[in-house]
Structure 1
Amino acid sequence: MWKKGNINGMSEENFEEKRRQQKIFITKELDELCIAKENKLVKTNWQVEKEQRIKPSLWWKEVAKAQASQTESGSQTDTNTPKPTNLSTDGKAWFIHPVAMVDYFVGNDVLFRKGDKDEIIREINIRLAGFGGNVPTDEFTERTENMIKQFQRDYMKVEETGVVDIPVIEAIDKFQEEYAISANVWSQLKCKCSPNKCSGFGNGLGKNTSPERSNTYEYPGIHRSLLFGLCGLSFYLGRQDVYKFRLISSGYRCSQHSEGKITTNHRGKAIDIQFYKENWAIAGKNKKNIEPLIYIRDNFFKTYLNSQDDWKDKNLFTTEPIGLDSKGNSISGFTYSWIHMDVRSFEKQYLLDEYFCTNATILNGEKLITIIKKEVK
């Protein structure tokens, strides 16, 4: 954003100095061209113009002064009198929202950068969660910057600037279409109890408490950041030919589900993903599964989604440990033919009902370019 005292990225002092230097240069050129008399005439005409037409239209300071006087006196008794504005006394605008200037942007001009705050930034943080992982915040943080750089490098194949411009917005919209979750996968995300015992995404039962490990609340769908993480994973898997997405073996599990009472993470915060290694389906309780699963976890989830192996750190994607015991038996809390990913470590402010969805329409929302154009209007 542009802030007070900045003019097109230039400080007020530098701007005044540049204007002074330009005035000296122009005056010198006029003198060298031997048109001092003409210059004097121009100056005279300018003085007349300034006195007769420009000065009468300079109202800001008078209005700001009157506003200050009115506020101090506290004598505003007429209910029909408009309330004082908050005009600054120096006549400088504090900031201009960048989206409001979108029609004037050249393709690579900056819309958002680190330090900015906007609802569109929240959507960017959600929709690009598969490029480094992030939480649904409206702040453009360092994590957002790194995520944008990763998206620019890997998907857009352009210079890593870490800022959002119109090409980035258009690329996000394109990515959503290209790696959209299919209807078949959406059916796999639904609770196996549906439609008899739940809607497919619970019945809103349970108390929404902390910690999330034992939270019994049935969130209204699957977390959007989690699903866009799946979209990012699909993109990165598509860049090689060995490991492929196979299916979602477990999505939502409501309180009526046979395993719902012991796996509360699956009430909207977790998905279990199964894979192929070339033409081999990684499935069953097989020791041969462990090595490729660990490879997928380390080289895709950890590398590109910035996931962690346990729930130690806040606000990261988390995968469950992988393995079987020496006899090939399952270990409590370990996966052996799938990779479990969840958002259980997200802080409560990032687990609001509004961040969960039950279908592609809610997940994807409007195109970002459409949202931006609406704000301009």
Structure 2
Amino acid sequence: MSNKALATVQILDALGNPIPKIHYQVRNQKTDQHVVKGITNSKGCFYEIQRDKGTILDVYVKSLFDDGMKKIKSFTMSKDRMLVKVISPKLLIDLKTLENNGKQGGYKRKTHTVQKGDTLTSIAQQYQTTVRALENLNKLENINKISIGQIIKLPVNTPATGSKISQDKKPQPLKKQPENAKSQKSAPPKHDAKKADQSSEPGLEDYKNRALEKLNEWYEDGKKALTEAIKIEMKEDRSQDGGTPKSDVPNLCKSSPQCISSGQSELIREINIRLAGFGGALPTDKFTPLTEACIKQFQRDYMGVPETGKICGSFLATLDKFYYEYPISGFMKKATCPCGKCKGYGNKRKGIKSGANTANEYPGLHRSLIWIIKALNFYLKNEFKSQSLEVAYIESGYRCIEDNKVKKRTSVNHMGLAIDLHFNKKGVRTKDVSDMEFIRKKVISTKMGATELRVTDKIYLEPKVFASGKSGANTWVHFDITRYSNEYLLDQFFKKTVIDLNGISLIDIAKRSGSNNLLSCSGILLGKDNTSKIPDKTIDELVIELGNAIASGEGSYEAWNAGAPEGKRVKFGKMMDTIGTITSKTINQLLKASEAYTWEDERRRFATGKYQTIPETLTAAKTRLGLSGDELYDAKMQEKVFKEHLLVGRTSIYELITTGRATVKSAMTDASKEWASIALPKGEKNKFGVISDGSIGYHQSKTNRANPHSTSKVKEIFEKIKLHHVEK
């Protein structure tokens, strides 16, 4: 039985007619991530949605009377094939509360008293309704004859903007009559209106009028309650020949010529490197059929959007989000060579015999290996989360020629081309062979195109038992790229530091190459200097408050500490040192002071400034902001790093600030990962596997404790930011 559900959503009006050309969005209720968006087709249908069973989705539509998106319903992906019908006149009109007459459950209708010169047309225009609605509501036999003083009932609801006067009934101006005159009965006027073409799609205005009339009919007759105006119906459709309405929504990038689907560039090469774990992309600067296939896999599996296979701004922004969401720094402790004779990544010796093999010491780890690990962790935590597996750490990364001699090995793949991984299951290291086989067969082979055969330009997986009968990787997972062609093994693909292995932001690469048009759908706002900006004066003020709230638990512009190994207490540090201790130093000077001294030396500057930036963060900020490092790390620079690097780098915080789409909970989780003084939300697990009760930080230890005051203040400001976007 499949764990996937396929659903088509159809929007119908009060009369059961499909509503075309309605702008919609579907979001994952848990993550608030967009699943699909677009415009309903001629059958009122959405693009087909495929998700795991049990996933709860929220349906939003664009109001006809303003630009806001309104949530109209939620539903659960529960069956193999589903047709979800949303019957909602509320899509067509905005229901307004009537004036209460003081009696429970009672309401009085608004009315209009006919004045001299009034016509039914002018009354309809005045109250933004239609002649037909007034005619039906007041049961008028002749719309051309109304009297001064006559009471005209007004509809319970009227469209919020504009009006549409019936084209087949043209009332004449009202002639003056005695105030006590009664309406005279006459035969209804004959109309010569043509019948509508049955095959044509009704217009939205027609839908509004018909639905409005229907609602007023319900109100007058008492047959329907307004609270029943919205309902949702689900039914299973297992037909294989078109039983489920198909969407004809066009390809999202069809009309966007700036999207990239061919060519050769640095940007394409970076994307290929980062998609190694989404289909086995190869690190070429050319846009190949494999590139297209891997983009589609990323769009399908991570973004949850229709597959275009093209590079657009939203794709770049989301791949950058993936960059930060699945970090590698926690896995890297054993990534370097343990020999003690090289500097961690060999001595660049090549062509050295090692038994029957030839050893080449590449200058670092191949970047594709790191991005494979990121994707592997993503799949384990999402599509395969029922297995409770996750990457624990790299057990063996680089092993140089000297290390081979000491260990009497002749294998040469661990000189930059191979990784051995250990895994946790429910937070504890697992050595279960079946777990390793699941990861190899179900994840790496299926999702990354890896194989246990040595195939050119494919990821190789070491089996649990070799064909010779010799035991292989039975309690760990080994993968390598030793069969990559030489063009994919150039020195430029090998890096040593976490920052360089990750690479810089794709958005920044696009901006640097002058491809700003490509970013039109990314949600990134560009200032004159092409840096990412957080817009809106009110939001800017809240961001300043946010910075001060974080600093209340972190430090001042002159704060610093010397750091300490895990489990040890920090020996040296000050929340407020003398003026100039930090602000008179350049970024490079602070980085050097971190490297030159040990944690037991009070001259070491590990975490510095108002936001306690550590060396890894400062190095990344230099890259993102294009800094030389010779800039003073003064108050102005610290705020720049906070706003344009720290906030931008934490996806949920940035999305909450810029769009309001992220949840306060996810933003708090991001904040706790960045700053030790901020506690995780209740129920979230920290990096040591401890579940937070609302007071435990992500980095909680003897040396790092969350601050309840700053946590409370940060949460309060996040809630203000969320409210700002909701009200806006």
Answer whether TM exceeds 0.5 for this pair: yes
Name the residue aligned to 2:487: 349
Match of 1:251 among 397, 402, 416: 397
Decide whether aligned partners of structure 1 residues 363 and 107 sit closer, same or farther in structure 2, where only a CA change above 3 A counts.
Answer: farther
**Does the Cα contact within 8 Å between 2:336 and 2:397 map onto a contact in 1?**
yes
Name the residue aligned to 1:200: 344
**Does the Cα contact within 8 Å between 2:333 and 2:394 map onto a contact in 1?**
no
- Cα distance in 2 for residues equivalent to 1:162 and 1:354: 26
- Cα distance in 2 for residues equivalent to 1:107 and 1:186: 43
Name the residue aligned to 1:370: 508
Name the residue aligned to 2:334: 188
With the length of structure 1 as denominator, give the TM-score of the two structures: 0.63
Decide whether aligned partners of structure 1 residues 363 and 178 sit closer, same or farther in structure 2, where only a CA change above 3 A counts.
Answer: same
- Cα distance in 1 for residues equivalent to 2:313 and 2:255: 6
Which residue identity does 1:275 align to in structure 2? F
Spell out the pairing of 1:1-377 with structure 2 (5 A cutoff): 110-113=258-261, 115-182=262-329, 184-193=330-339, 196-207=340-351, 214-239=357-382, 240-241=385-386, 242-257=388-403, 258-259=406-407, 261-283=409-431, 289-311=432-454, 313-323=455-465, 332=470, 334-376=472-514
- Cα distance in 1 for residues equivalent to 2:334 and 2:301: 28
Displacement after TM superposition at 1:109 (Å): 5.4
**Higher fraction of helix:** 1
- Cα distance in 1 for residues equivalent to 2:394 and 2:264: 35
Decide whether aligned partners of structure 1 residues 270 and 177 sit closer, same or farther in structure 2, where only a CA change above 3 A counts.
Answer: same
**Does the Cα contact within 8 Å between 1:297 and 1:339 map onto a contact in 2?**
yes
Displacement after TM superposition at 1:376 (Å): 1.3
- Cα distance in 2 for residues equivalent to 1:316 and 1:260: 28
Displacement after TM superposition at 1:206 (Å): 2.9
Which residue identity does 1:367 align to in structure 2? S
SS at match of 1:145: helix
- Cα distance in 1 for residues equivalent to 2:352 and 2:263: 31
Displacement after TM superposition at 1:342 (Å): 0.3
- Cα distance in 1 for residues equivalent to 2:466 and 2:494: 33
Displacement after TM superposition at 1:245 (Å): 1.4
Which residue identity does 2:343 align to in structure 1? S
**Does the Cα contact within 8 Å between 1:149 and 1:162 map onto a contact in 2?**
yes
**Does the Cα contact within 8 Å between 1:186 and 1:359 map onto a contact in 2?**
no
Q: Which runs of 5+ in 1 are unaligned?
A: 1-104, 284-288
Decide whether aligned partners of structure 1 residues 372 and 260 sit closer, same or farther in structure 2, where only a CA change above 3 A counts.
Answer: farther
Decide whether aligned partners of structure 1 residues 208 and 162 sit closer, same or farther in structure 2, where only a CA change above 3 A counts.
Answer: farther
Which residue identity does 1:294 align to in structure 2? E
**Does the Cα contact within 8 Å between 1:254 and 1:260 map onto a contact in 2?**
no
Displacement after TM superposition at 1:107 (Å): 11
SS at match of 1:274: strand
Displacement after TM superposition at 1:224 (Å): 0.4
- Cα distance in 2 for residues equivalent to 1:151 and 1:367: 17
- Cα distance in 2 for residues equivalent to 1:265 and 1:357: 16
SS at match of 1:296: helix
Greater RCO structure (CA 8 Å; 6+ sep): 1
- Cα distance in 2 for residues equivalent to 1:259 and 1:110: 54
Decide whether aligned partners of structure 1 residues 106 and 324 sit closer, same or farther in structure 2, where only a CA change above 3 A counts.
Answer: closer
Decide whether aligned partners of structure 1 residues 333 and 109 sit closer, same or farther in structure 2, where only a CA change above 3 A counts.
Answer: farther
- Cα distance in 2 for residues equivalent to 1:374 and 1:320: 40
- Cα distance in 2 for residues equivalent to 1:347 and 1:208: 19
Decide whether aligned partners of structure 1 residues 205 and 370 sit closer, same or farther in structure 2, where only a CA change above 3 A counts.
Answer: same
**Does the Cα contact within 8 Å between 1:128 and 1:147 map onto a contact in 2?**
yes
SS at match of 2:395: strand
Name the residue aligned to 1:30: none
Which residue identity does 1:218 align to in structure 2? E
Name the residue aligned to 1:93: none
With the length of structure 2 as denominator, give the TM-score of the two structures: 0.34
**Does the Cα contact within 8 Å between 1:253 and 1:259 map onto a contact in 2?**
no
Displacement after TM superposition at 1:110 (Å): 4.1
